[in-house]
Amino acid sequence: MDASREHSDVLQRLRRIGFRVAIDDFGTGYSSLDYLRRFPVDRIKIAQQFMIDLTEGSGDAILRASIALAKELKLEVIVEGVETAKQLQRVKSCGGRDVQGYYFSKPVGANAMMALLRIGRIRPVRPTVLLEALAG
């Protein structure tokens, strides 16, 4: 990340032409809090690891703090790795709204995705963009 200014400039240019920038696996590995300050980010995706930690105690506090931080910075937040109804409820109780994970569906192709959308099993974060991409 020595060239962080250069990376930031590239991300800004991408955002100007319509791309949205997300930090994936937020809270683990290289996804530092400093990235929220240095880079033009629209969304964070909270790492699946924190779904596992929900059953171990510390996960709720970290999840709640991460969601609150994202909201304070006016960022969208998606919680990854939701696999059970209990996890979904805990995410909601921590203030989370947008989630993804096997609870809803394992990865599927475009046709299966359209079927899931039609029956209301899943709801995309940005429906228009997703439907245009699948239809295109």
pLDDT tens by residue, the chain, 136 residues = 455 788 888 889 988 988 888 888 888 876 678 888 888 899 999 988 877 766 556 678 888 899 999 999 999 999 999 998 888 988 998 899 899 888 888 888 888 888 888 887 777 665 444 444 444 4
Quote the crossing angle between the two packed helices 58-72 and 85-93, to the nearest 10°: 50
Residues 61, 12 share a domain: yes
Contacts of residue 118, defined as CB under 8 A and 6 or more positions apart, other chains included, come to none
Note the pTM of the prediction, 2 decimals.
0.76
Residues 112, 89 share a domain: no
Residues 130, 99 share a domain: no
Range of the domain at 42: 4-104
Residues 91, 122 share a domain: no
Measuring CA to CA, how many Å separate 125 from each of 18, 60, 65, 71, 111? 16, 23, 21, 16, 19
CA-closest candidate to residue 79, choices 123, 110, 43:
43
Residues 73, 26 share a domain: yes
State how many domains the chain has: 2
Q: How many CB atoms lie within 10 A of CB 99?
A: 19
Residues 121, 96 share a domain: no
Which tokens belong to 80?
């990854």
CA-closest candidate to residue 92, choices 56, 67, 74, 125:
67
Q: Residue type for 130, please?
A: L
CATH number at residue 66: 3.20.20.450
Residues 86, 62 share a domain: yes
Residues 70, 41 share a domain: yes
DSSP calls for 69-90? HHHHTT-EEEE----SHHHHHH
Residues 73, 118 share a domain: no
